[in-house]
Structure 1
Amino acid sequence: MSNPKDAFQELVRIFSSRDNKVLEIEIIPPSLGATFLQDGCSLGITKKALVQAFTVARQLFFDRLMPMSEDDLQATLPASAQSRDTDSGITEIMILFDCEHLTACNWRKRRLRAAMAHCPGIPNQTSAATEVLEAELTLMSSYQCSPLHRHTKSPTLWHHRLWVVVHLLQRRHWSAEDLLRLQRTELDIVLRAGELHPKNYYAFNYMRQLDILLAATVEKTTKPSTWETCSPSVVGQVVDWCLANPRDISGWSFGLYMLSNALEQHSRVNALERVVKFALNVGWEGESLWTFVDQASRQFRLESVIEDIMLLHCDQETRTRDFQPVQDSRQNKSWQTWLARAKVYWVENQARDT
């Protein structure tokens, strides 16, 4: 498929037929002998075909979409499905090619505003505008959860996603259970993006902003207890991810943020115990993990928890020789202090094995 218009039409067809499902998009090498490869929600496209589709989409965007006024956008809403799909597909292709194309993202915001003005929200009902916003979220997920070069860490796309969620929250009443499901869904998206692009500051910063937004929203609900009860499970999910990606400082920083929002101290204790035991058992010396241990122990006054775990792993002789009570203040400690203590355990354990 060497014709740019054919490449454009094929991508429009794929995007318009996804039925709000999340696509997994990947750039494939031309050596495979195919321009497009699709298996269910998995899509492969060559770089050449994407460039060809982008050139057509960009021309149509500036010729047809950019001159549209707000009234023109309103008038397109009752248009045929094929016309709407083509208009939407133009910017979808542009963003697939260039995730920082702010003009294309802003046009999509204008289109969403027109849909919200055309279909005002009805309490306790799902309006057409709500469906459009939810479809926009699945589109963003297709970009941000795909093995693409820049999309998983795009500040433009994460800001656009937050904008969509803000307006989605305003469209209808949300129970605490609904908000919890939304939080977990978005957390899954963020953690997936963090796996695809390590040290993904923009993804975790989005989750911080969303957490603040959801916490403010849940205060207006009648069952805040549901949100509070399920908080430890969310913290546990974040700690699980951090232990699976122990070099990721952005993940540990977000984990520290989640612990600061935990309502019960035992949630923090359990999380810190898991991290310290993991590090001791696998011999982990990475700075990111031990920085988390140090900052968590300082912030939540849990130095004694770490001391107890390390003492528990050593014999009596080592406890007496190497783990004397520390007289210096907490300010003089650092992550290297805890790492040095861990090394004592590793050396002793190795000597015992030999």
Structure 2
Amino acid sequence: MTTPDDAFQQLAGVFASRGDEILEIEIIPSSLGSPFLHDGCSIGITKKTLVQAYTVARQLFFKKLMPMSEDDLLVSILGTNSSQDFASDQVTTEIMLLFDCEHLTACNWRKRRLLAALMCRRDVPDRDSRLIQILNTELTLLQSYQCSPLHRHTKSPTLWSHRLWVLKQLLKIEDQSSESLLDLERHELAVVLRAGELHPKNYYAFTYMRQLHALLARSPVEKRDYSGWSAELATLLVDPVLDWCLSNPRDISGWVFEIYLLNHVSDRQLQVDAVGRVLRFARDVGWEGESLWTFIDQAVRQFDLESVVDEAFLFDRERREPMCTAVQSPPTKWPWRARLDRARAYWAVYGSSYHT
């Protein structure tokens, strides 16, 4: 039978030896017969064992970590104390956040610890490179939470807010070229889309992506003007986000983020192509879901793309009457339903390969 100390030591050993690797953590049923499974970067732990590890971590946190001064925090993060204490300091709050991703006290303590390193003397050897490494390690820890099949972590406002804060600190101390910022944006989008797959309608993940876009747009890169650089950052994301939305057409959070991106691009043809692609998808598969048609209605009205709808649902001359009937239908309470009614008139004439 696993004791709380054993549970803590098992989980602490994995976190302490993680380095910058990204873990995949899953809560497993006790019926598997083992309370803790570890294979490479994959971890399985039962809820009971996690609770046991958390009770020990919480006791250590309030007994040892909370009273720490700024100097103590600096010593902890630079790893100049004993290896056993260093490992304990590192993983205690990590285990707490694995159990409770909204534990603000533990999360704020990690911010204090990072700030102690950021405010250390400039004459520390290799200070910036060491700080960049520490911040990147924090990001991989957060990615381990946010991209694992955990119940709450993928949609945790505390973790997404902490991730944005860490990135802000990283951008302050690391010189970034335009290409490196674009690479950063691509990587963060991959994290957000994975979190969106694990937790549908992930409002907090896509809100984080909006905030990151605004943050990167304000970054002084090669003296670019704000609007042009913001449009370039948004343009980079339009196609991959649209691919994700078409793979997850019921997810309204993704569609709303796509409209946000289209609002920030400067190329009208990109807006036309994106909306046209969604219309052709809906037309060809007979999709009736509200999220997709809400996107179509809002995008068409915001960007004045009624002609794109006409082109997608163009009837042959001898079959023009059904289209006219659909266009002249009385307005409904929900504007997207009028768009769907027009599509239904088209399907009634031509059919579709698949009907939801």
Measure how far apart 1:226 and its partner are.
8.5
Q: Which residue of 2 aligns with 1:315?
A: 316
Q: Which residue of 2 aligns with 1:9?
A: 9
Could you say what the CA RMSD is over the residues aligned between the two structures, in angstroms?
2.7
Q: Does residue 287 in structure 1 map to residue 306 in structure 2? A: no
Aligned length: 348
Measure how far apart 1:222 and its partner are.
5.2
Write out aligned runs for 1:230-249 (5 A): 231-249=234-252
CA distance in 1, matches of 2:167, 2:213: 11
| Secondary structure class of the residue paired with 2:173 | coil
Q: Does residue 89 in structure 1 map to residue 91 in structure 2? A: yes
Write out aligned runs for 1:186-225 (5 A): 186-217=188-219, 219-221=220-222
Structure 1's unaligned 5+ residue stretches are none
Give the AA of the match of 2:193. L
Residues 298-307 or 66-75, more deviating = 66-75
Taking a change above 3 Å as real, the CA distance of residues 253 and 259 of structure 1, as seen in their structure-2 partners, is same
For 1:233-276, what per-residue CA distance to the aligned partner results, in whole angstroms no more than 9, with x for missing partners?
Answer: 42000001111111111111111001111120111111101100
Q: Which residue of 1 aligns with 2:279?
A: 276
Write out aligned runs for 1:1-354 (5 A): 2-76=2-76, 77=78, 78-118=80-120, 120=122, 126-217=128-219, 219-221=220-222, 231-311=234-314, 314-323=315-324, 334-350=335-351
Give the AA of the match of 1:62. F
- C-alpha contact (below 8 Å) 1:175/1:222 kept by paired residues: no
CA distance in 1, matches of 2:293, 2:272: 16
- C-alpha contact (below 8 Å) 1:120/1:127 kept by paired residues: no
- C-alpha contact (below 8 Å) 2:286/2:352 kept by paired residues: no
Taking a change above 3 Å as real, the CA distance of residues 13 and 115 of structure 1, as seen in their structure-2 partners, is same
Measure how far apart 1:227 and its partner are.
7.8
CA distance in 2, matches of 1:161, 1:6: 30
CA distance in 2, matches of 1:120, 1:267: 47
Query: Percent identity between the aligned chains?
Result: 56
Structure 2's unaligned 5+ residue stretches are none
| Secondary structure class of the residue paired with 2:351 | helix
| Secondary structure class of the residue paired with 1:192 | helix
Measure how far apart 1:6 and its partner are.
1.2
For 1:76-113, what per-residue CA distance to the aligned partner results, in whole angstroms no more than 9, with x for missing partners?
Answer: 33223432221010000000000000000000000101
Give the AA of the match of 2:75. A
CA distance in 2, matches of 1:265, 1:197: 32
Measure how far apart 1:331 and its partner are.
12
Residues 225-234 or 192-201, more deviating = 225-234
- C-alpha contact (below 8 Å) 1:291/1:335 kept by paired residues: yes
CA distance in 1, matches of 2:257, 2:146: 18
- C-alpha contact (below 8 Å) 1:125/1:172 kept by paired residues: no
Measure how far apart 1:195 and its partner are.
0.6
Return structure 1 stretches of 4+ with deviation > 6 angstroms.
Answer: 223-227, 330-333
CA distance in 1, matches of 2:344, 2:328: 20
Measure how far apart 1:141 and its partner are.
0.4
TM-score, length of structure 1 as denominator length:
0.91
Taking a change above 3 Å as real, the CA distance of residues 350 and 267 of structure 1, as seen in their structure-2 partners, is closer
| Secondary structure class of the residue paired with 2:34 | coil
CA distance in 1, matches of 2:352, 2:108: 63
